[in-house]
Structure 1
């Protein structure tokens, strides 16, 4: 189909042949067969196998196929060079070394000379390889990613990680560089990541070394390439950005209903209640019917009525399901009969529960068939809590990792377990009901999982101040892998340490819970959950006490920000944006931001610096150079490039707004869709030009994918002090045709000491362009 040119070069006294293919190169070196293929101008696949042993790889993560890409070929001394419009790749046919440059010839990354090794091993009775690939980075080059690692570090240089997905540890073999590129080593085995002054390396089990080099020029560009390669992130429904309440566990349908009713009586906003484990019949204490996906007739006598009542109270229900099944369940019997069980002990202990083989497509079908019949199509729940998606592994035996799965030994595919389990639920649900957006809360993840609308939480973390502190850089590194949805148990899961000191009324635990809730307010999902102590707001005191009032303040703030958050969700889905943005994403030129993992932008405008110490009266906040900043609470105007010492009484978390920002604020509500957005405050923060796109749609279906949505673009011209509200674009069923905007241009010269510093202009808007001079 196309000409193959043969380039002959001398290497160690023998002829080395580099073949030009349509979009790359093929050559052999160091007993390896190596293929380089441009998937686009920015994405290059490097595929290596032992010489003469071809292997066809079908990726679990990658959905992109190579697109027609114009490349050119040339020589660079003894080496061969292939270029697209964005990236140049140089190969050394003698050593197997590969060097990546940008289009201007600036060095990005080196795949080491002699840096790839294959060592033959026996794995589950078959031949496999221990595969290792080494890279060379600049000495001071900061990198991020690797996964959710609870070690309180942000920059991943000079670190080592045993990449084995377990409760509280979620890894993917991926790193992103401050230089604007990323590497995804497409391997699902239990692996090793090491970075030291000599090299960075990945090592794991496989038939090949298969990685993708992605160049985006900056962090946003990298994430765009990751999503192009492994899948876009769909929008979640509006209600998924409200407040979630759960605990381990609500024992009856009446208990969870009473919780929802009390929130409504107190007029504290709430959108979602979650039903945790053991709603199924418990035949005996051994949990032999674990995860039967059926409701206990005594405790849940009418589950359809239960869900209907939740919906009548304008709330939603997430319900838990696990990947393991007790021996007395019908699911387990069918999986056993078809050899679709991975035969190791999973949670709960001594129950005989075993996980199913998620790597078998038929097993995914069977799992959904029971789940749909027993729950989804039966009661009409609104989403899923997929617990233990690593999955839990107890009474571990070394031989467990050699157990067979549909795709090979368990150890060779383990880290993709959550990816495949989430895939099974998400794709089957959409096939059954295309009018309800999928919402999945899951305890693990892997690159590619973003395409299923999954929101990973950090696992069963302890209720401590140091664990709260560790959540922030862990979340930021996780989202830098291109997976935008992340959250944590507000207050931490295990709170037993506080029981003897007064429990929910212990002042330190109350303060920890409030500070964690402030962090949760500015996370993609705001969810209260835990064991040992109940977490519903009234358990901390009555309205009028500091702990109740501080919680209520931030729950209300979350709902006021819903227009901003939902528009950010559109930015995430449509523009490959990111909810939790480390400072290095927007201020890479400020070298100080390269190491800061305890602050971030929530969306593109609001800088958040969670308080993570007990009795902190003030908190240092670094304001990046490249912008000026407004204190959200006082409107004080500060220059970037400095540390601001910020007062932090218990009901204040440091928040700063980037100059040039435009932020919409919604009405006070009890749930996300209680009131229409027909009277929004539009707050403008001068200092530089700015733009914001207000997004609206039908809130909970996939019609937005068919173009059923609207956008209104606000542009601030700082020199002319003029706000341009552009003509509305698009439409959808039930769209507002007229509305009010209350425009509030913040005065940068005065602190907010009285209500008249920043008077608003109220305008009517009917979809046509408006220009406002200030």
Structure 2
């Protein structure tokens, strides 16, 4: 029955509808369930043929609050509604959705009535919660998800996990941790959970202290593990005692640390035995800083390091059962300064329940989520952006190389580095001015310390005169005595807890300050007004929005972090905990776009949330460590972030926080050798991240500060920098596709090879666009690595051109200067001329390398590079098609136009085959030249 007919019938009969029926309200289907005390109402909104918005209310009223992440600007779509004795059924052009009249649970089916996923019976829960006199619910929704699926997304986390099927992840914002409540399945569906509070995917329980288990000391006496606090400087043990907790996780719990040993000289071990109270898989989480090793029954679970002030997490699992003890030893060397350590555990749950797809949130009014479905994972992500907003095309210069360090302390330092790049002819498009350019006592003033930056406008002009852009760091933080603080505070737009609690920061002897409330629309406008007046008018090109978790006080407990940002303009921070970065970016984006200059907004932000892509934002992975394990973790972190629907991501190539051994490494030392190799390998990987950016603490990260010109590190870094620039026609086309096709640049293998289940758990390889598979090297002195070539028509070794069959695991060569890369058979790769910055010359000629073996398509995207005219159609696409059967490349007729475009250009066509291998470095050999005037041209392979 068509919905137009339903309106006439239902509205005339509404008064007579029983509680087991449904009604239509504002083009929404509302099902009133028979179990009134449990779930009286379920409301479904058909957003598109593949998107269903689901709301479940614990009362007879639905939440009227507008979503922070959804655009809510959708076109109406036709669908059918019918019912039987037990279900209300909605049919779209892609989906069949069934809602139980008994309990309101929703099940999803394809058009052949085959199940996709279903809400679990009794899988909803509403537990009342009141915070700051605001009533709400602690919410949970469980789904019976397919056994053979793989799940990706959830943002960017640091435990080196790729497939979240059967796993747990706590979603909150933290330096190096970016939480996005979206999951995408290899079954071609996704779920976007619309909630902003602390959220848990998987097991809804928080990790518990290890005294949940039976603990024994070294002598096997029950009660606790043997804790030994040793001073390495005096070689004395100051305390040895039994402890039933390992909980030095935050500023609150670290106060319990014994004062008989200094962190700078401490070595602490916990040793003994653990025993389960029940049989099953126990999941552990270790929160660590400093050097940390953990063994179970003598087997090393991990060995990791993080700088003292910025902990990370490690996960591992152990099967335990009553009556069986397992030996445990945890060794911790804090490595200077106040440091952090914690060991927590989740006791077993039924493994079938563990495999459920589940979202739990601390506070909300209703359960609200979006189910999205498509023909492939790209379409699912496109549907996600239909809900949350399109990504923009980033300015062309942003796709080039970025040089940064923590930090350029003077105007002269920054300009000297820029000139050195230009003198050495090292490609560069952007240089970054990090924090603390202001007078020490004026954080938040956006003023420059004139002793170090005597003329910021002249500095910016000189950067521009040298064909580069400059990005500047802006924090949402303000010292108490600044005029900007007072402007916010007099309107009630400052978080006051840090001031009232006399919280000092770490600069000098410490200063008082706090963050502004980005949830207030007027506060956001003021924030933009201040940085516009003080910074944008000087010509800065891009914004680095740091500490946007918000990190008011590093290493505070989660509860105190809520206090430090409470209340928000929208309500309790408990309810809005995760969305600060989204609101902060929104203010900058809307402020800059309101100007008349039409320059593309570019924001780099340390935290993010669902929908932030529509605000011209890129997220980076925070202050990660300079360790091989940290480098490896960035691969899966970047993949999952991209598969969370946000196409632009980057990291600190080389890592941010530096081990002391690297800080003092001398020429010829093994530490310096390793430092150079680590940076080389990370740079190779970083050249194929969506954004290509170096940053970190001392030692300096400029190529010429890492190694001399004749060193293999220098040679490889320069080689990959130049390769990035030669691929600019390919890379900028991918950036264009993020807008025209809702494309994902950094791609988990499951996106392109969904039918090959062998790729589901591969987190150390990825596709860079449709053609190039990247396999970073993340072990010191490794000169080979295992690579899986997904099932396909074959692969070409990017370094040698050798053809290899798909569907096999190989041991790939990885000499110091080269990272394994493979080009999919059935690819067209466009290369441009050698350039040192993206606007140096037009992309002419373009070399098209056709990697034969399968049909292929590609569209070269071009636009004006820096403005938003593309939103009004001012861009071109040149379609490229390779027919394997006809051995013919078709360069199609150009679509579209823009001011300044090349109307006539030259293409050089190279054919790669099994017999004629072509690497990424010899693409100009044996080409056929084609003059192109925008009309279709055909090139036949001989």
TM-score (norm 2): 0.79
Q: Closer, same or farther in 2 for the Cα pair 1:677/1:493, shift >3 Å? A: same
| Aligned match for 2:938, one of 765, 771, 774 | 771
2:504 and 2:406 map into 1 onto residues whose CA distance is: 15
1:684 and 1:387 map into 2 onto residues whose CA distance is: 42
Range 120-129 or range 692-701, more displaced: 120-129
2:515 is matched with which residue? 355
The answer to whether the 8 A contact 1:245-1:528 is kept is: yes
What is the Cα deviation at residue 718 of structure 1?
Answer: 1.4
2:73 and 2:107 map into 1 onto residues whose CA distance is: 23
Range 312-321 or range 45-54, more displaced: 45-54
| 1:139-192 Cα deviation digits (max 9, x unpaired) | 232111111111111110222222111101111222111111111110001122
1:300 is matched with which residue? 453
1:223 is matched with which residue? 381
The answer to whether the 8 A contact 2:86-2:102 is kept is: no
Secondary structure at the aligned position of 2:41 is classed as strand
1:365 and 2:369 aligned = no
| 1:546-597 Cα deviation digits (max 9, x unpaired) | 1111110011111101110001111111001111011111110111111112
1:441 is matched with which residue? 604
2:426 and 2:116 map into 1 onto residues whose CA distance is: 51
TM-score (norm 1): 0.95
What is the Cα deviation at residue 3 of structure 1?
Answer: 3.2
1:453 is matched with which residue? 616
1:201 and 2:368 aligned = no
1:17 and 2:18 aligned = no
2:411 is matched with which residue? 253
Secondary structure at the aligned position of 1:59 is classed as coil
The answer to whether the 8 A contact 1:318-1:384 is kept is: yes
The answer to whether the 8 A contact 2:847-2:909 is kept is: yes
Q: Closer, same or farther in 2 for the Cα pair 1:486/1:548, shift >3 Å? A: same
2:66 is matched with which residue? 58
| Aligned match for 2:438, one of 280, 302, 311 | 280
Q: Closer, same or farther in 2 for the Cα pair 1:270/1:159, shift >3 Å? A: same
2:647 is matched with which residue? 484
2:702 is matched with which residue? 536
2:817 and 2:836 map into 1 onto residues whose CA distance is: 20
CA RMSD of aligned residues (A): 2.1
Residues 390-405 of structure 1: pairs in structure 2 closer than 5 A:
390-394=549-553, 396=556, 398=559, 400-401=561-562, 403-405=566-568
1:436 and 1:757 map into 2 onto residues whose CA distance is: 35
2:571 and 2:8 map into 1 onto residues whose CA distance is: 37
Q: Closer, same or farther in 2 for the Cα pair 1:239/1:65, shift >3 Å? A: closer
Range 59-68 or range 587-596, more displaced: 59-68
What is the Cα deviation at residue 352 of structure 1?
Answer: 1.6
1:24 and 1:154 map into 2 onto residues whose CA distance is: 37
Range 252-261 or range 119-128, more displaced: 119-128
Q: Closer, same or farther in 2 for the Cα pair 1:600/1:734, shift >3 Å? A: same
Secondary structure at the aligned position of 1:513 is classed as helix
2:379 and 2:713 map into 1 onto residues whose CA distance is: 42
2:359 and 2:134 map into 1 onto residues whose CA distance is: 22
| 1:265-288 Cα deviation digits (max 9, x unpaired) | 1111111100000111123xxxxx
1:27 and 2:32 aligned = yes
2:932 and 2:838 map into 1 onto residues whose CA distance is: 23
The answer to whether the 8 A contact 1:7-1:18 is kept is: no
What is the Cα deviation at residue 763 of structure 1?
Answer: 2.3
What is the Cα deviation at residue 55 of structure 1?
Answer: 2.5
Residues 128-277 of structure 1: pairs in structure 2 closer than 5 A:
128-194=136-202, 197-198=352-353, 199-204=356-361, 205-277=363-435
* Structure 2 runs not aligned, ≥5 long: 204-350
| Aligned match for 1:375, one of 530, 535, 539 | 535
* Structure 1 runs not aligned, ≥5 long: 9-13, 284-288
Q: Closer, same or farther in 2 for the Cα pair 1:282/1:419, shift >3 Å? A: same
1:663 and 2:858 aligned = no
2:62 and 2:760 map into 1 onto residues whose CA distance is: 41
Secondary structure at the aligned position of 2:8 is classed as coil
1:286 is matched with which residue? none
1:404 and 1:308 map into 2 onto residues whose CA distance is: 42
Question: How many residue pairs get matched?
Answer: 763
Q: Closer, same or farther in 2 for the Cα pair 1:299/1:49, shift >3 Å? A: same
Range 62-71 or range 42-51, more displaced: 62-71
| Aligned match for 1:735, one of 901, 910, 915 | 901
1:392 and 1:686 map into 2 onto residues whose CA distance is: 51
| Aligned match for 2:109, one of 97, 101, 108 | 101
The answer to whether the 8 A contact 1:4-1:19 is kept is: no
Residues 582-731 of structure 1: pairs in structure 2 closer than 5 A:
582-731=748-897
